[in-house]
Amino acid sequence: MKNILLAVTGGIAAYKAIDLTSKLTQAGYDVRVMLTSHAQKFVTALSFQAIGRNPVYTDTFIEENPQEIQHVALGDWADAIIVAPATANTIAKLSTGIADDIVTTTLLATETPKFIVPAMNVHMYENRRTQHNIEVLKEDGYHFIEPGEGFLACGYVAKGRMAEPLDIVSTIDRFATDSEATESTAEAPNHHIESTFAEKRALVTAGPTVEELDPVRYLSNRSSGKMGYLIAEALVERGAQVTLVSGPTHLAVPEGVEIVNTQSAQEMFEAVTERYDDQDIVFKAAAVSDYAPATPLTHKLKKQDGELQVTFTRTPDILKYLGEHKTHQYLVGFAAETQNIDNYAKAKLQRKNADVIIANNVGDRSIGFSSDDNDYTMHFKDQSTAALGKHSKAKLAHLILDKLETRWQ
């Protein structure tokens, strides 16, 4: 899946659609944008054209190519259509089949998969008529990316915020991965096998840890938690019973996953070790702080002249502990390095008594922390390797499990 048609409607969250266009483009999608007349009250066509490097469509009756009908051709071109933000008005029009602008006309004229990203005042969102319209569209096959809770333009702190662009991209990545898997299965149905993860217990760690210095300052890292969350979701899709031990993130918990929220490395260590004996496989994908302030302060540290010296103490080495106390578990670790990546990964594999180490180069800012993509190499205990290549993290989660399907037991 490559072509994304982004429909922007008239809400204050339209400014987020500019960032969404950028994130989709960076993720490798070819993005074309449609703007309603109300959307143009908030954002301009030029912004999207500059970022997406494609024409922007604003009027049903401007037919630039006489060889085609624009609103039909756009729907045929797209592999998926995203309406973000989707206002209550646009949702109502779509649910009743009204086609009076470039967005509603295009969506009515295509069977391309459609993703609706609502954004509006909480009372508008919770209104019975809006909820009825949403249910109608769901029954018609529309996909919905739920709004988040937070500060709204109207001043309320409630549900109604447009989903964050990175979360939208992750949803599209998962849809693309699932679509590719479905196509592969359709082309070669005899190659389908039952997953070896079905009914097995899996524990995944994800995200950063937070080590407090004082009530307002802390030591952490740039891990977003995306890879761990996507692995947890992929395991559930293969029938595993999944526990996700997560540091602080802004990610939605995958459906069917038991979540255990932690803050510090010590909290994550305790949460993991308490559950370790019951697990069949563990993915240690969290970026755990190696050091923590030795004596966290109970009051805010005040500014003072001269240099500040802080004493740090070593945090628990979770992967090492798991390797030392392994009985029947299969242990998967991650190595985020900036140099000598393969050598460090192989050394870590031996030192931590892991079964596989998945290594990547976090010195490359186009992948790794906070990115939607990564480039992994798997190092196995039998000294074999598997280079997965650069892909979206959603696809990599499945590629990792594919490599493990016949090996981990």
Binding-site residues for CTP: 290, 300, 316-319, 334, 348, 352
Residues written for the chain: 409
Q: Helix 226-237 vs helix 165-187: angle between axes, to the nearest 10 degrees?
A: 40
C-alpha to C-alpha distance for 382 and 356, rounded to whole angstroms: 9
Find where tokens 């409630």 sit: 158
Residue 85 preceded by cis peptide, ω within 30: yes
The DSSP call for residue 203 is E
Return the closest-CA partner of residue 322 out of 346, 357, 368, 292: 357
Residue 275, Cβ density class (10 Å: 0-12 exposed, 13-18 middle, ≥19 buried):
middle
Catalytic residue among 154, 198, 216, 310: 154
**Which amino acids are annotated as binding site, given as ranges?**
290, 300, 316-319, 334, 348, 352
Find where tokens 């969290």 sit: 286
Find where tokens 């499945």 sit: 398
Assess whether 56 carries a catalytic annotation. Answer: no
Amino acid at 203: L
How crowded is the C-beta side of 326, counted as CA atoms within 13 Å? 18
Which alpha helices (DSSP H) does 127-164 contain, by range?
A: 128-139
C-alpha to C-alpha distance for 14 and 185, rounded to whole angstroms: 38
Residue 217 vs residues 43, 225, 253, 293, 371: alpha-carbon distances, Å? 37, 21, 27, 11, 25
Contact 186, 170 (CB under 8 A): no
DSSP 320-333: HHHHHT-SS-EEEE
Amino acid at 315: T
Active-site residue list: 154
